[in-house]
C-alpha cells in the first residue's frame, strides 16, 4: 500500500488504535490469564539428551515408531525373506528415482497419466505375481475389464438406441424384436451399426462408454459431482447389457476368472440384485442370488484354488423409507435362502448427495444382530457435515467394516473406536483418486492408518471403470505411495484380507 503523506499515515494509526480498543473493550476476544504461560515454562517436560546419549535415544525412539507400523508383527519365513529383499530393492529404486526427479514418482501423479508406465514397472510386474488374498470392497457390475465388456457387444440380438457422437449416451438392450422407441430414439441392431462403422472403430467408440479413463483426467472432470455423474452414467449404460440372463452368468464367471489371474482368491462384492431379464421374463433377487451361487460353484469346481465369493446387499442411499423397508425384507429373504452367500448389508452411492446413515438408524437397529453391517462412510473431503459424520453412525450401529473411511482421520473419537473394536477400514486408493478425493497417494489418509497399525484392507472398488487390474494396481499404489519407505512385504501380507466373512 502506498502512503500519500505523514498526516494520512498518522490518521490511519489512530483509527487502528481506536478499533483495537473497541474490540478489546467489547470482550470479543478473551484469553484467560492462566493460559498465558511464559515461554520458558511452556515446555517444562522437554529435555535435551546429552550428546553421548543422542544416538542411542534416537535408535530407541525410531525402533518404537517402527514397531507401531502395520505389518511389523508379521513373521516372514526364510523364503519370504528372500522375496522381501528383492521387492524392497525394487521399491527403493522407484523411491530414489522419485527423490531425484519428483515428477517421475508415479504415485504422485494421476493413475490415468501414468498407467502405461506402471504396467511397465518392474515393481508392478512383481506385485502382479504375488498372492493377494481377498477383495472385500467391489461392486457387482464394475468387476470385468473394459476389454471383456466390448466383446459382449458382439452378441446376437443386441440393440442400440442413439449414436456415439450424440449428447445423450447410447442405450443398449437385448431383444428378439425391435424394442419400443425411447423418447423418439429409434433402435438399431448393433450388428448393423458395427458393419457401418467397422469393427475396430465401433469397439473404440463403445469402449469409451464403459470407462472413466482420460488422457487429461484433471481437467476432464472439474469436481467430484462432475466425475460422479459420469461414473453413475456408466452403470446406467452397462446394466441392460450385463443383466441379460445369459450374459449375467458369463459376466460373473469372467469376473472371478480375472480376479483369480490377478492373484485374488476370495471376493465380497456389493449390489442390489438388478432386475435380470431374458426374452421370456424377468428374475427377482432370490432367483438372481441362485444364479450367482450356481456360477460360483461352476467356477470353484474348475479352479480349486479359489476360496469363494459372497454378496453384500447394498441399496442406494437415496432410498425413501418405504422402499428401504422393502429392501430390509428382501435381505432377510435372501439370508434365509442363501445364508452362506449373503455376507452383510450396506448403503451405496455418492455420500455427499445421499441421505445420511442416521436417517435409517432406527430401522437398521431392528435388524438381526447377526446381519453384518459394512457401511460406506466418510467417502468425502468435507469435515463437520452429515457425510463425514456417517462415520460416527457406522461405528455406533456396529459396523464390522467401513467402506473407504477417508474422512476418519478428522474424527479422533471414531479412530479410537475403530482401533478398540477392530473395525476394518476398506481402503480403495485408486478409487479415491479417480473420484477426486486425493491427488498424490503419499497424502492419502491411509498413510496414517499404515503408520499406526490400524485394521486395514486394500480393495479396488470399481477397477473396470479405471481400466486397472482387479487388485494389483491398488496394491502397487498402497505399497509404494501410501506405505512408509520402511514397510516391506509384511505390510502386503497384512492388507490381504483377514477381515472377510469366509
56 is catalytic: no
Residue 327 lies in a domain: yes
Do 400 and 480 fall into the same domain? Answer: yes
Among 164, 186, 220, give the residue marking a domain's end: 220
Residue 91 lies in a domain: no
Contact 471, 132 (CB under 8 A): yes
* pLDDT: which is higher, 403 or 29: 403
379 catalytic per annotation? yes
- 81-99: per-residue pLDDT in tens? 999 999 999 999 999 999 9
Residue 161 is assigned to a structural domain of this protein: yes
Q: What is the CATH number of the domain that holds 387?
A: 3.20.20.140
| 3 state SS of 44 | coil
**Position with higher pLDDT, 498 vs 152:** 152
Say which of 137, 404, 444, 473 is annotated catalytic. Answer: 404
Whether residue 390 is found in the same domain as residue 477: yes
Taking residues 118-145, what's their average pLDDT? 97
Domain match, 186 and 326 both: no
The stretch 475-492 carries a mean pLDDT of 98
Whether residues 108 and 169 fall in one domain: no
Q: Which residue is catalytic, options 268, 351, 379, 389? A: 379
Average pLDDT value for the chain:
92
What pLDDT sits at residue 36? 57
Alpha-carbon radius of gyration of the chain: 27
> 380 and 467 share a domain?
yes
**Do 165 and 254 belong together in one domain?**
no
Residue 316 and residue 200 share a domain: no
**pLDDT above 90: percentage of residues in the chain:** 86
pLDDT value at residue 184: 82
β-pairing verdict for 187-189 and 158-161: antiparallel
Residue 11 counted as domain residue = no
Asked whether residue 389 falls in the same domain as residue 413, the answer is yes
Of 220, 250, 270, which residue is a domain's last? 220
Quote the pLDDT of residue 8: 57
- The answer to whether residue 41 is domain-embedded is no
Higher confidence at residue 19 or residue 246? 246
Cα–Cα distance, 411 to 407 (Å, whole number): 7
Residue 182: strand pairing partners: 185
What would the mean pLDDT of 479-498 be, rounded to a whole number?
Answer: 93
Please indicate, yes or no, whether residues 181 and 273 belong to a single structural domain of this protein: no
Task: Render 163-209 in DSSP notation, one character per residue.
Answer: -TTSSSPPEEEE-SSPPPPBTTBPEEEHHHHHHHH-HHHHHHHHHGG
Total structural domains within the chain: 2
pLDDT at 208 > cutoff 80: yes
Establish if 283 belongs to a structural domain. Answer: yes
248 assigned to some structural domain: yes
Is the pLDDT assigned to residue 14 strictly greater than 60? no
What digits encode the pLDDT tens for the residues 150-197?
Answer: 999 999 999 999 999 988 999 999 999 999 987 888 999 999 999 999
Per-residue pLDDT, 496: 86
Q: Is the pLDDT of residue 397 over 80?
A: yes
The answer on 332 and 263 residing in a single domain is yes
Domain that holds residue 434: 98-145+236-494
Q: Are 213 and 299 in the same domain?
A: no
For residue 95, the number of C-alpha atoms closer than 13 Å in the C-beta half-sphere is: 18
Rounded to an integer, the average pLDDT of 28-44 is 59
Last residue of a domain, one of 220, 247, 279: 220
For residue range 212-268, list pLDDT tens digits in order. Answer: 999 999 999 999 999 999 999 999 999 999 999 999 999 999 999 999 999 999 999
> What pLDDT is attached to residue 487?
98
Both 371 and 456 in a single domain? yes
User: Given this model, what pLDDT does residue 428 score?
Assistant: 98
Position 335 in a domain = yes
Amino acid at each position: 500500500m502506498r502512503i500519500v503523506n505523514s498526516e494520512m499515515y498518522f490518521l490511519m494509526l489512530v483509527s487502528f488504535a481506536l478499533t483495537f480498543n473497541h474490540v478489546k473493550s467489547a470482550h470479543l476476544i478473551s484469553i484467560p490469564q492462566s493460559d498465558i504461560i511464559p515461554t520458558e515454562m511452556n515446555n517444562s517436560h522437554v529435555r535435551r539428551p546429552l550428546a553421548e546419549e543422542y544416538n542411542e535415544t534416537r535408535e530407541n525412539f525410531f525402533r518404537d515408531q517402527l514397531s507401531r507400523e502395520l505389518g511389523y508383527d508379521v513373521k516372514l519365513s526364510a523364503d519370504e525373506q528372500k522375496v522381501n529383499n528383492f521387492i524392497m530393492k525394487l521399491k527403493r529404486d522407484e523411491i530414489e528415482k522419485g527423490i531425484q526427479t519428483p515428477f517421475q514418482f508415479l504415485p504422485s501423479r494421476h493413475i490415468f497419466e501414468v498407467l502405461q508406465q506402471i504396467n511397465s514397472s518392474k515393481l508392478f510386474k512383481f506385485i502382479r505375481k504375488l498372492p493377494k488374498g481377498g477383495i472385500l470392497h467391489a461392486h457387482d457390475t464394475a468387476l470385468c475389464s473394459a476389454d471383456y465388456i466390448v466383446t459382449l457387444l458382439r452378441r446376437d440380438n443386441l440393440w442400440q438406441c442413439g449414436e456415439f457422437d450424440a449428447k445423450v449416451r447410447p442405450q443398449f438392450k437385448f431383444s428378439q424384436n425391435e424394442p419400443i422407441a425411447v423418447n423418439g430414439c429409434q433402435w438399431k441392431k448393433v450388428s448393423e451399426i458395427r458393419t457401418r462403422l467397422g469393427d475396430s472403430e465401433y469397439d473404440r467408440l463403445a469402449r469409451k462408454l464403459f470407462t472413466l479413463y482420460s488422457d487429461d483426467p484433471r481437467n476432464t472432470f472439474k469436481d467430484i459431482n462432475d466425475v460422479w455423474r459420469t461414473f453413475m452414467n456408466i452403470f446406467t449404460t452397462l446394466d441392460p447389457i450385463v443383466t441379460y440372463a445369459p450374459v449375467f452368468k458369463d459376466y460373473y464367471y469372467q469376473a472371478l476368472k480375472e480376479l483369480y489371474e490377478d492373484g485374488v482368491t476370495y471376493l465380497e462384492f456389493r449390489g442390489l440384485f438388478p432386475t435380470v431379464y431374458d426374452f421370456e421374463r424377468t428374475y427377482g433377487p432370490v432367483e438372481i442370488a441362485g444364479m450367482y451361487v450356481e456360477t460360483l460353484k461352476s467356477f470353484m469346481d474348475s479352479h480349486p484354488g479359489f476360496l469363494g465369493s459372497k454378496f453384500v446387499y447394498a441399496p442406494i442411499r437415496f432410498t425413501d423409507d418405504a422402499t428401504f423397508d422393502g429392501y430390509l425384507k428382501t435381505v432377510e429373504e435372501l439370508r434365509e435362502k442363501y445364508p452362506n452367500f449373503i455376507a452383510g448389508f450396506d448403503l451405496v452411492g455418492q455420500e455427499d448427495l445421499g441421505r445420511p446413515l442416521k436417517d435409517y438408524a432406527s430401522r437398521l437397529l431392528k435388524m438381526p444382530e447377526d446381519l453384518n453391517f459394512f457401511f460406506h462412510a466418510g467417502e468425502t473431503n468435507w469435515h463437520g457435515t452429515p457425510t463425514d459424520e456417517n462415520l460416527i453412525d457406522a461405528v455406533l450401529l456396529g459396523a464390522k467394516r467401513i467402506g473407504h473411511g477417508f474422512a476418519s482421520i478428522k474424527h479422533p473419537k471414531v479412530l479410537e473406536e475403530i482401533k478398540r473394536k477392530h473395525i476394518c477400514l476398506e481402503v480403495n486408493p485408486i478409487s479415491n483418486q479417480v473420484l477426486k478425493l486425493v491427488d498424490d497417494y503419499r497424502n492419502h489418509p491411509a498413510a496414517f492408518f499404515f503408520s499406526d497399525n490400524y485394521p486395514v484392507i486394500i480393495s479396488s472398488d470399481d477397477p473396470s471403470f479405471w481400466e486397472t487390474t482387479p487388485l494389483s494396481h491398488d496394491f502397487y499404489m498402497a505399497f509404494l505411495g501410501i506405505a512408509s519407505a520402511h514397510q516391506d512385504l509384511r505390510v502386503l501380507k497384512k492388507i490381504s484380507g483377514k477381515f472377510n466373512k469366509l
